[in-house]
């Protein structure tokens, strides 16, 4: 699907910056990127964009359901183009994330859910030390 159509289907206007950033991210490959990664990719591809615009665009993609946000700690946030239910291996030394299929981990013993609430997702991040990826 063309980036413009993908944006419009998600309820976003297909602005030039969104099209440019979306074109870098939505190429059919699942990827985990930081805003800094996207800014570098954009500049290497001749797209003039500020880091603030990259953050805003990535957050708009998340709000529209085109990406997921993965916050590992206060200093590291990744954006994931794979929006299916899945988990992650995180290699702490290199900062690399790998997908784990959603059905390969079973979570038991979830806490009692408060009345009026519901679980929308359970996402597991397995942190790895030693860079044996």
3-state helix, strand, coil in the chain (%, to 5): 30, 20, 45
Structural contact between residues 126 and 90, judged by C-beta atoms closer than 8 angstroms: yes
CATH architecture of 3-67: Orthogonal Bundle (1.10)
User: In the chain, where are the structural domains located?
Assistant: 3-67, 86-128
Q: Which helix (H) or strand (E) holds 99?
A: strand 96-101
**pLDDT number for residue 130:** 77
pLDDT of 121 reads 86
Q: Quote the tokens at residue 53.
A: 């615009």
Q: What is the pLDDT, as a whole number, of residue 133? A: 59
Low-confidence stretches of the chain (pLDDT < 50) are none
Predicted pLDDT of residue 1: 73
């Amino acid at each position: 699907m063309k980036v413009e159509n993908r944006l419009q289907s998600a309820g976003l206007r297909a602005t030039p910056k969104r099209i440019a950033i979306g074109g870098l991210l939505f190429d059919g490959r699942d990827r985990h990127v930081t805003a800094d990664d996207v800014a570098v990719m954009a500049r290497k591809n001749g797209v003039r964009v500020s880091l603030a615009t990259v953050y805003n665009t990535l957050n708009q993609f998340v709000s529209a359901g085109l990406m997921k946000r993965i916050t590992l700690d206060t200093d590291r946030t990744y954006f994931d183009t794979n929006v299916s239910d899945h988990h992650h291996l995180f290699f702490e030394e290199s900062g690399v994330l790998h997908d784990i299929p959603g059905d390969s981990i079973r979570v038991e013993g979830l806490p009692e859910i408060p009345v009026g609430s519901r679980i929308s997702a359970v996402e597991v991040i397995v942190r790895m030390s030693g860079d044996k990826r």
